[in-house]
Amino acid sequence: MTTQLTSRRDVFSPDTASTRLHQALRTRMCEGDFTPGEVISIRRIAAEYGTSAMPAREALRWLVTEGALVFSDSRKIIVPKLSRERFEEVLYARKNLETEVSRQAFPHITAGDIEELKRIDEQINGAIAQGDIVRYMRGNYQFHFLIYRLSQSRVLLPLIEILWLQYGPSMRYICTRWGASSIADDHLREVTQALSSGDCEAFCQAIGADIEQGMMLLS
């Protein structure tokens, strides 16, 4: 079955098969669909998305330039394994950038957005209760980026996306290793509560605390 390309396309990118495929793969990386050390085949990606080899090759090479994938030799493209030190750096950078972009997004978040965040949070709670790491990772990505994209930042948002490309696979591995019961979802509820009460500082603090959870899991 051909996988559909449904992800957002950057307004500055041409609408081509390779850019659509690149964006779809970016989303999957952020959601942890790939695991550290996994070999990514051009032929496999082309078959999954029903494209020729050329768009698949271009999309994967684009991900290599963004640090989401690496060449292990002249023939293999793999998902990198992050060292503990590098993962800590990613989380440190995430906390600083994402709390700031959340502050920028705050004035643009509507009552409808808050209700959608609550709905996603309920789905995340259900995924945790069922031990569904895949659904948890997907919901966590949707929750955060619903907020971040409302900032309309042309500088911070691209940087955050790059960090999530590196974060997603490693966080998926950590969550899988320790199990869904190790994941606390209180911070996302605190995010929506702060938004409902119009408390920007509490909102940003809750975003930061949610990211710190990754640091605690790493410890």
Average pLDDT over residues 98-103: 98
CATH number of the domain residue 53 falls in: 1.10.10.10
Q: Say if residue 179 is in the same domain as residue 211.
A: yes
CA dihedral 77, 79, 85, 89 (to 10 degrees): 100
4-46 tens-digit pLDDT: 443 444 444 578 999 999 999 999 999 999 999 999 999 999 9
Domain boundary among 78, 94, 116: 78
- Residue 110: burial class (beta carbons within 10 Å; 0-12, 13-18, 19+): exposed
Tokens found for residue 73: 């030799």
Q: Which residue has the higher pLDDT, 199 or 72?
A: 199
Look at residue 5 and tell me if it is in a domain: no
* Total domains, the chain: 2
CA–CA dist 201, 207 (Å, integer) = 10
Q: Say if residue 67 is in the same domain as residue 135.
A: no
Q: Say if residue 137 is in the same domain as residue 88.
A: yes
Look at residue 6 and tell me if it is in a domain: no
Tokens found for residue 147: 């907020």
Segments in the chain forming alpha helices (H): 17-30, 42-49, 53-65, 84-105, 111-129, 133-149, 156-178, 186-197, 200-218
Look at residue 162 and tell me if it is in a domain: yes
Q: Say if residue 97 is in the same domain as residue 193.
A: yes
Query: If pLDDT is split at 50, 70 and 90, which confidence band does 215 have?
Result: confident
Query: What is the domain extent for residue 174?
Result: 84-218
- Which helix or strand (DSSP H or E) is residue 77 part of? strand 77-78
Task: Confirm whether pTM is higher than 0.95.
Answer: no
Judge contact between 151 and 160, C-beta under 8 A.
no
Look at residue 11 and tell me if it is in a domain: no
Look at residue 12 and tell me if it is in a domain: no
